[in-house]
Amino acid sequence: MSISGKENQAIIGRDLINDVEAILNVPMIDPNEIEHVVKNNADTIFTWDYTLARPALRKLYEKAKVGQWNGSTDLAWETEVDVEKTIAADQAVIGSGIDPAWYAGTKVALWGDKEWLEFGIQGRKWMLSQFLHGEQGALICTAKIAETVPWYDAKLYASTQVVDEARHVEVFARYLDEKLEGGYQVNAHLGMLLDDIVADSRWDFTYLGMQIMVEGLALAAFGFLHQLTCEPLLKKLLRYVMSDEARHVAFGVLSLKEVYDGMTDKEMMDRQEFAYEASIRMRDRFLQQEVWEYMGVDPKTVIPLILNDPTRTMFQQMLFSKIVPNCKKLGLLDRNDKWLRRRYEEMGVIQFEDWDNTGDDYLKFELGAEVPVPAH
């Protein structure tokens, strides 16, 4: 085993990031599970210093107070959603998300229009379900941040994000229930990451795992789906959520920049390894194992192909378009002999390092602004 393999084994539980057998050996979540308990090891911190020492965080807090929206009244829930027509239209824009020719020799190669449409419908249900579960993770983590962060300004902002995340859980759950007739259980890889974020006792790990990694990927994924879909209710729902999410990621960038600038190499190495682990877990989650099984396809026959499918690879890489520049701004890419940079090079996502970071561009996502398209 190479040194890199040893590091991977210690961090992500396997030598190679594309070890399909190891990825699929992670047991799926029981779809009948209703309650999941995670031990929270963090201390609750009171602060008696009420001075406004961090004006950038106070600016975010003021933006959050005037940026509130009501999921019940601001969205047109009476909109009729023809799921088959919606997915067919979206597939006409970009295809199914994978190149059928890439899957010659598998069951997928025999699919006709009916199967591809059903795959698209299930994929949409699955994607929105993972958004929903991730938003509940954000709700829990932001409540934890309000308890554990030692700064007054950060506690104030975190309190507004708790309200935001409750609203996001509400609207995604309602859309899945009323328009898509239900969804999927939490993906095992996302579940593992959420457990790790909640269980860690260090307050900045909650920020890094949720605000930078999970929310950063979500902002990119929401933007992708918002550009793609023509379904008006979902499009507006995503636009509202994105206006909040950009502030949330900026909250993480602004808070952690101050902390990480003063950390030792050893302390930063812990954070770099955690960012890498989170990146791999989130990439693994988008392999959609549950959808393939629903479609009667053995994931072991298609996931090796997915990992090398140029169409799919481009989509997965774009999901890191917010994470990589934010990690660069935080100093995570190049500390410790460029350790995280080399991992992101291996993952094929380093090309985003000089794109806009969310600490600077969150105002572009405010309600009323034109939604920014991915740009350098």
The domains found in the chain, sorted by start residue, are 82-365 (1.20.1260.10)
Confidence label for 374 from pLDDT (cuts 50, 70 and 90): low
For the chain, the average pLDDT equals 93
CA distance linking residue 127 with residue 141, whole number of Å: 21
DSSP characters for 138-198? Answer: HHHHHHHHHHH---HHHHHHHHHHHHHHHHHHHHHHHHHHHHSS---PPPHHHHHHHHHHH
Tell me, what's the pLDDT at 373?
A: 65
Tell me, what's the pLDDT at 370?
A: 82
What is each CA distance from 171 to 127, 131, 139, 165, 329, in whole angstroms? Answer: 14, 11, 13, 10, 32
Tell me, what's the pLDDT at 353?
A: 95
Average pLDDT over every residue of 59-67: 95
What is each CA distance from 255 to 91, 188, 212, 216, in whole angstroms? Answer: 40, 29, 11, 15
CA distance linking residue 352 with residue 275, whole number of Å: 16
pLDDT at 1 over 50: no
Share of the chain above pLDDT 70, in %: 98
Tell me, what's the pLDDT at 157?
A: 97
Query: Which residue matches tokens 């406004």?
Result: 52
Coil vs helix vs strand at 92: helix
pLDDT at 4 over 50: yes
Query: pLDDT digit string (tens) for 313-355?
Result: 888 889 999 999 999 999 999 999 999 999 999 999 999 999 9
- Rg over alpha carbons for the chain, rounded to the nearest Å, is 20
pLDDT at 360 over 60: yes
Query: Which residue matches tokens 């992670």?
Result: 26
Quote the DSSP letter at residue 104. T
Query: pLDDT digit string (tens) for 275-292?
Result: 999 999 999 999 999 999
Please classify residue 133 by burial: count the beta carbons closer than 10 Å to its beta carbon, then call 0-12 exposed, 13-18 middle and 19+ buried: buried
Tell me, what's the pLDDT at 11?
A: 93
Share of the chain above pLDDT 90, in %: 83
Average pLDDT over every residue of 225-252: 96
Tell me, what's the pLDDT at 2?
A: 45
CA-based nearest residue to 133, from 285, 287, 236, 250: 285
Listed ranges 30-39, 85-94, 99-108, 177-186; the one with the highest mean pLDDT: 177-186
Confidence label for 376 from pLDDT (cuts 50, 70 and 90): very low
